[in-house]
Chains A and B, each alone.
Chain A
Amino acid sequence: MTLDTVTNAEKTPEADQPWAELGLKPDEYARIREILGRRPTGAELAMYSVMWSEHCSYKSSKVHLKQFGEKAPENDAMLVGIGENAGVVDVGQGYAVTFKVESHNHPSYIEPHQGAATGIGGIVRDILAMGARPVAVMDPLRFGAADHPDTKRVLPGVVSGIGSYGNCLGLPNIGGEVVFDACYQGNPLVNALCVGVMKHEDIHLAKASGAGNKVILYGARTGGDGIGGVSVLASETFDDAKPSKRPAVQVGDPFQEKLLIECTLEIFKADLVDGIQDLGGAGLSCATSELASAGSGGMRVELDTVHLRDSSLSPEEILMSESQERMCAIVEPGKVARFLEICEKWDVIATVIGEVTDGERLEIFWHGEQIVDVPPRTVAHEGPVYDRPYARPSWQDALQADDANKLARPAGGDELRRQVLALVSSPNQASKSWITDQYDRFVQGNTVLSHPEDSGMVRIDEDTNLGVAIATDGNGRFTKLDPYTGAQLALAEAYRNVAATGAKPLAISDCLNFGSPEDPDVMWQFAEATRGLADGCLILGTPVTGGNVSLYNQTGDVAIHPTPVVAVLGVIDDVNRRTPMAFAEEGQLLYLLGDTKEELGGSAWSEVVHSHLGGLPPAVDLERERLLGEILIAGSRDGMIDAAHDLSDGGLIQAVTESCLRGGKGARIVVPDDLDPFVFLFSESAGRAVVAVPRSEELRFNDMCGARGLPAARIGVVDGETIEIQDQFTIPLSELKQAHEATIPALLA
């Protein structure tokens, strides 16, 4: 095969090119020709095809995502916003925190272990590239039906991938979610979050500036894995008729990544880096074009200097390879020697592959011959943008009319009791410790709270006890019923979870998992969900710092439930004040905060008892969420509450069960006069939490809630070894424990 140089491309304008196989549309190919004034070379075509893929360019989602900027609330805490590798938030005392949640859905279905492992690897490098030491990870996961045979293939692989990669990096896994639903059967959602900490002055950005500065590629050698991962895997619908896509999944080496982390942190400390970018989706194509596009001037790269795992790789393959554990840094010439020395110390391969030029082009050479000559912005930042058609689905009204509040309800205490046991033992409500016990939650020695607590919390300063808390939430069932409200419910739940542990919510990151944008139904769901999220963030004062969009999550014509996953970051001045979820002190009083209404649409009860999805999701009142958050934070700070648990999936009875089992103590509960026992136990009204108040604090706590106008009802007391709902039923803790903990191991172990 002859090398397709720029000169060759000029001479052979009519040469046949595989643009369609690379995922480009006819008009996109035409536009590339127009930009270049000639046909692209093979290498240029490779770069444009991966960078203009849905995954990298956000071409279908951009027009909706811009609301996150337009409606962003005033917030002094934002140091770096959307567009960089990850957003950065000021948490006080000179510290900055960066966090992001991202998807690795498609690779994880094809090759669960490696797909999930490299998902962790990618998000960790994003955080590292901002200048931060990664301090924790979390994984919101969604699988097909718990008892489906393929779930037994996918789930254990995903969990072992997350475990083996994250555990080997020395990052505590402090939270996340595991949800089962048949809609994810052919499209599991494997989202990964990483959070990192640095001082304000350590923030680094992805830009290449200063003519003469060197471009250094360091980390693992480049191999043939992951070629076309973003364009072939993440930007298309799965189809049985096409050949296996396994080679498009990258293979990870956590040991190499651990060295890369320590090496990079030492390089930052020595102040050797001008700009830096990790290599993830679209590999070198992405890193070189984004660095050059964001900086001043151009860039010249000698591609044949790249260290290869396989010497037979073509230049196009090298540009598209998604080999893991690689970073690209811009370094002043005088600092290169020291840079290479630190890499040598950590046994990390580093190569100067090019330099920043004073031109305006990204130029790439292969053994002296030019194979790429492009304006970098056209590759990285000025890709196609589509305002795709969308319309409210024809079935939406019928779905909402199928009211869950009208489903048959339990008659009497015995049936209530049976349904409670069915609920807490159902796969979605059952304990997930069989999964989370495969992750290291202790490493780094700063973990204050981890799963199953409402949020994960880590200490970031040993002297002042400053800490951060993060919770991730999403509810595809609610979002299917009403995407606008569903997205806000995800935001509200994550916000509430952070506040429940005593931390003040500051900012969010989101991972938007949807079906094909070419389907107007799906595009409507996406438009509604982003609008809901942007409006919600404005009310709660929590800006979106960044995140990720994953589209084409569908098999054939059937899309997953629209599933926006929201991660909320909060700060707590003193982690000693954190509020755990366990009811551990006998005699403490249980208060239900917020209003309980008859809201069963999309509820866990409707799923477990009736296999039903219909009606409207619970209503959202974000002003109320904010008030509830303020009460939970003040209660924690002033020592008025000893335990708190948010109410969400499964309602009050699920929350009380979890808190009792966590603390090893029972509870005696009285149904408030104005509520039906069934609604009291199973409704999923938003804006609620249950708290344990020491008797000595009851008056003060009641006064605070009264003065602030938050409904607070005393519903019982921590006591004994049973959960007793007065006049209804009693269940021994031992029976609840067995029901809650046996399900997942029985299905998967």
Chain B
Amino acid sequence: MTARVGVVTFPGTLDDRDTQRAIRVAGAEPVPLWHRDKDLHQVDAVVLPGGFSYGDYLRAGAISRFSPVMESVIAGARDGLPVLGICNGFQVLTESHLLPGAMLRNNHLHFICRDQKLRVENADTAWTADYSAGQEISIPLKNIDGRYVADERTLDELEAEGRVVFRYLDVNPNGSLRDIAGISNAAGNVVGLMPHPEHAVEPLIGTGRTDGLGFFTSILKKLVTA
């Protein structure tokens, strides 16, 4: 048997098909989930992919968080269901209060698309177990609202508990506090990040590297051996 990983499509989601492909490339089975459908169809994990759900109206992720599927995702996440939020998915997770903090407009005010170097700070989460702590990876980054902010106490707490999962290296592309690119919840089952691992899973496509594949093999191993 293999793991079944759900991929949510909201209206305005863009990277759902890419994420399904990445899950397939890793050897798991992608299961499309629809925003209006509360039923998670017995998936073993869920990815909230990137895009501009609901046109980013009001605030990125602000409306999606109230969609029927998110009720089940939020409840599942509290019970330990592995959830990964990429870019807009990360924004949905902060809006849902599954992860602390928020994303503001990039400090240079432009959309930025680049190959971004990251350091994996925590290799113990459900989504990073196939990496080693301190490992450097390069995956695409593409957003306009990517500047991670939180109050000092929250930031200190995240640092102290090892919940800063990824940090930007070389260049901080958007002014994120403490170079934070991704974080997890206390239990480590919920992870959110701005860069896009699903765009770096095949040697020929995109940046020509496969540094993002580890996210999906991590969850596969965890689920199959669990």
A contact set with B: CB distance below 8 Å: 160, 163-164, 167-170, 253-256, 258-259, 346-347, 436-448, 459, 462, 575-576, 578, 749
Judge whether B113 is part of the interface by a CB distance below 8 angstroms: yes
Shortest beta-carbon distance from B162 to chain A in Å: 30
Residues of A within 8 A of B57 (CB): 255
Are the CB atoms of B11 and A444 closer together than 8 Å? Answer: no
**Given A163-B111, A438-B111, do A443 and B15 touch, yes or no (CB 8 Å)?**
yes
Are the CB atoms of B206 and A447 closer together than 8 Å? Answer: yes
Contact among B51, B55, B207 with A170 in the assembled complex (CB-CB below 8 Å): B51
Residues of B within 8 A of A256 (CB): 55
Residues of B within 8 A of A347 (CB): 11
Are the CB atoms of A448 and B111 closer together than 8 Å? Answer: no
Residues of A within 8 A of B204 (CB): 448, 459, 575-576, 578
In the complex the two chains form, what is the Cα distance from A596 to B118 in whole Å?
A: 46
Are the CB atoms of A255 and B196 closer together than 8 Å? Answer: no
**Given A255-B11, A437-B112, do A442 and B142 touch, yes or no (CB 8 Å)?**
yes
Query: Which residue of chain A has the shortest Cβ distance to B21 in the bound complex?
Result: A445
Residues of A within 8 A of B113 (CB): 436-442
Judge whether B205 is part of the interface by a CB distance below 8 angstroms: yes
Judge whether B78 is part of the interface by a CB distance below 8 angstroms: no
Query: Which residue of chain B has the shortest Cβ distance to A443 in the bound complex?
Result: B14
Shortest beta-carbon distance from A597 to chain B in Å: 37
Shortest beta-carbon distance from B19 to chain A in Å: 9
Residues of B within 8 A of A170 (CB): 14-15, 51
In the complex the two chains form, what is the Cα distance from A666 to B57 in whole Å?
A: 48
**Given A164-B111, A255-B55, A437-B112, do A442 and B199 touch, yes or no (CB 8 Å)?**
yes
In the complex the two chains form, what is the Cα distance from A578 to B205 in whole Å?
A: 11
Are the CB atoms of B11 and A259 closer together than 8 Å? Answer: yes
Are the CB atoms of B205 and A446 closer together than 8 Å? Answer: yes
Are the CB atoms of B114 and A437 closer together than 8 Å? Answer: yes
Are the CB atoms of A442 and B140 closer together than 8 Å? Answer: yes
In the complex the two chains form, what is the Cα distance from A170 to B88 in whole Å?
A: 13
Query: Which residue of chain A has the shortest Cβ distance to B15 in the bound complex?
Result: A443
Are the CB atoms of A442 and B196 closer together than 8 Å? Answer: yes
Shortest beta-carbon distance from B20 to chain A in Å: 10
Shortest beta-carbon distance from A150 to chain B in Å: 20
Are the CB atoms of B111 and A447 closer together than 8 Å? Answer: no
Residues of B within 8 A of A255 (CB): 11-12, 52, 54-57
Are the CB atoms of A254 and B15 closer together than 8 Å? Answer: no
Judge whether B110 is part of the interface by a CB distance below 8 angstroms: yes
Residues of B within 8 A of A462 (CB): 21
Are the CB atoms of A254 and B112 closer together than 8 Å? Answer: no
**Given A163-B111, A168-B52, A255-B52, do A445 and B12 touch, yes or no (CB 8 Å)?**
no
Residues of B within 8 A of A575 (CB): 204
In the complex the two chains form, what is the Cα distance from A168 to B17 in whole Å?
A: 15
In the complex the two chains form, what is the Cα distance from A578 to B208 in whole Å?
A: 13
Query: Which residue of chain A has the shortest Cβ distance to B198 in the bound complex?
Result: A445
B:94-113 near A, CB below 8 Å: 108, 110-113
Are the CB atoms of A443 and B11 closer together than 8 Å? Answer: no
In the complex the two chains form, what is the Cα distance from A446 to B199 in whole Å?
A: 9
Residues of B within 8 A of A438 (CB): 110-113
Query: Which residue of chain B has the shortest Cβ distance to A465 in the bound complex?
Result: B204
Judge whether B71 is part of the interface by a CB distance below 8 angstroms: no
Query: Which residue of chain B has the shortest Cβ distance to A462 in the bound complex?
Result: B21
Judge whether B156 is part of the interface by a CB distance below 8 angstroms: no
Are the CB atoms of A167 and B142 closer together than 8 Å? Answer: yes
Apart from A169-B14, A253-B55, A444-B17, 14 more pairs, CB < 8 Å: A164-B144, A167-B111, A167-B142, A167-B144, A254-B52, A255-B57, A256-B55, A259-B11, A347-B11, A436-B113, A438-B113, A443-B18, A445-B199, A459-B205
Shortest beta-carbon distance from A169 to chain B in Å: 8
Residues of B within 8 A of A163 (CB): 110-111
Shortest beta-carbon distance from B58 to chain A in Å: 12
Residues of B within 8 A of A346 (CB): 11
**Given A444-B18, A445-B21, A575-B204, do A259 and B110 touch, yes or no (CB 8 Å)?**
no
In the complex the two chains form, what is the Cα distance from A258 to B16 in whole Å?
A: 13
Residues of A within 8 A of B207 (CB): 442
Residues of A within 8 A of B17 (CB): 444-445
Query: Which residue of chain B has the shortest Cβ distance to A345 in the bound complex?
Result: B36
In the complex the two chains form, what is the Cα distance from A441 to B199 in whole Å?
A: 10
7 contacts between A and B (CB under 8 A): A254-B55, A259-B12, A442-B140, A442-B196, A445-B22, A448-B205, A749-B108
Residues of A within 8 A of B108 (CB): 749
Residues of B within 8 A of A167 (CB): 52, 111, 142, 144
In the complex the two chains form, what is the Cα distance from A259 to B54 in whole Å?
A: 10
The 4 A-B residue pairs whose C-beta atoms are closest, nearest first, are A255-B55, A170-B14, A445-B18, A442-B199
Most buried by B among A163, A254, A445, A578: A445
In the complex the two chains form, what is the Cα distance from A347 to B11 in whole Å?
A: 9
Query: Which residue of chain B has the shortest Cβ distance to A168 in the bound complex?
Result: B52
Shortest beta-carbon distance from B60 to chain A in Å: 11
Shortest beta-carbon distance from B117 to chain A in Å: 15
Are the CB atoms of B142 and A443 closer together than 8 Å? Answer: yes
Shortest beta-carbon distance from A537 to chain B in Å: 31
Are the CB atoms of A442 and B111 closer together than 8 Å? Answer: no
Shortest beta-carbon distance from B93 to chain A in Å: 20
Q: How would residues 141 to 165 of chain B score, 1 for a CB under 8 Å from any chain A CB and 0 otherwise?
A: 0101000000000000000000000
Residues of B within 8 A of A443 (CB): 14-15, 18, 142, 199
In the complex the two chains form, what is the Cα distance from A462 to B112 in whole Å?
A: 27
In the complex the two chains form, what is the Cα distance from A256 to B21 in whole Å?
A: 25
Residues of B within 8 A of A440 (CB): 111, 113, 142
In the complex the two chains form, what is the Cα distance from A315 to B44 in whole Å?
A: 55
Query: Which residue of chain A has the shortest Cβ distance to B206 in the bound complex?
Result: A442
Shortest beta-carbon distance from B69 to chain A in Å: 14
In the complex the two chains form, what is the Cα distance from A686 to B57 in whole Å?
A: 50
Shortest beta-carbon distance from A642 to chain B in Å: 14
In the complex the two chains form, what is the Cα distance from A438 to B22 in whole Å?
A: 24
Residues of B within 8 A of A164 (CB): 111, 144
Query: Which residue of chain B has the shortest Cβ distance to A459 in the bound complex?
Result: B205
Shortest beta-carbon distance from B113 to chain A in Å: 5
Shortest beta-carbon distance from A40 to chain B in Å: 40
In the complex the two chains form, what is the Cα distance from A163 to B206 in whole Å?
A: 18
In the complex the two chains form, what is the Cα distance from A447 to B54 in whole Å?
A: 25
Most buried by A among B52, B54, B140, B207: B52
Residues of A within 8 A of B54 (CB): 255
Shortest beta-carbon distance from B54 to chain A in Å: 7
In the complex the two chains form, what is the Cα distance from A160 to B111 in whole Å?
A: 8
Shortest beta-carbon distance from B143 to chain A in Å: 9
In the complex the two chains form, what is the Cα distance from A446 to B18 in whole Å?
A: 9
In the complex the two chains form, what is the Cα distance from A347 to B54 in whole Å?
A: 11
Shortest beta-carbon distance from B171 to chain A in Å: 12
In the complex the two chains form, what is the Cα distance from A258 to B206 in whole Å?
A: 22
In the complex the two chains form, what is the Cα distance from A168 to B108 in whole Å?
A: 19
In the complex the two chains form, what is the Cα distance from A259 to B207 in whole Å?
A: 28
Q: How would residues 36 to 56 of chain B score, 1 for a CB under 8 Å from any chain A CB and 0 otherwise?
A: 000000000000000110111
Shortest beta-carbon distance from A443 to chain B in Å: 6
Query: Which residue of chain A has the shortest Cβ distance to B20 in the bound complex?
Result: A445
In the complex the two chains form, what is the Cα distance from A439 to B17 in whole Å?
A: 19
In the complex the two chains form, what is the Cα distance from A256 to B11 in whole Å?
A: 9
Shortest beta-carbon distance from A341 to chain B in Å: 13
B:168-226 near A, CB below 8 Å: 196, 198-199, 201-202, 204-207
In the complex the two chains form, what is the Cα distance from A562 to B191 in whole Å?
A: 54
Are the CB atoms of B140 and A168 closer together than 8 Å? Answer: no
Shortest beta-carbon distance from A168 to chain B in Å: 5
In the complex the two chains form, what is the Cα distance from A95 to B110 in whole Å?
A: 37
In the complex the two chains form, what is the Cα distance from A439 to B55 in whole Å?
A: 17
Are the CB atoms of A445 and B114 closer together than 8 Å? Answer: no
Residues of B within 8 A of A437 (CB): 112-114
Shortest beta-carbon distance from A576 to chain B in Å: 6
Residues of A within 8 A of B199 (CB): 442-443, 445
In the complex the two chains form, what is the Cα distance from A253 to B57 in whole Å?
A: 11
Query: Which residue of chain B has the shortest Cβ distance to A156 in the bound complex?
Result: B110
Shortest beta-carbon distance from A266 to chain B in Å: 12
In the complex the two chains form, what is the Cα distance from A243 to B21 in whole Å?
A: 52
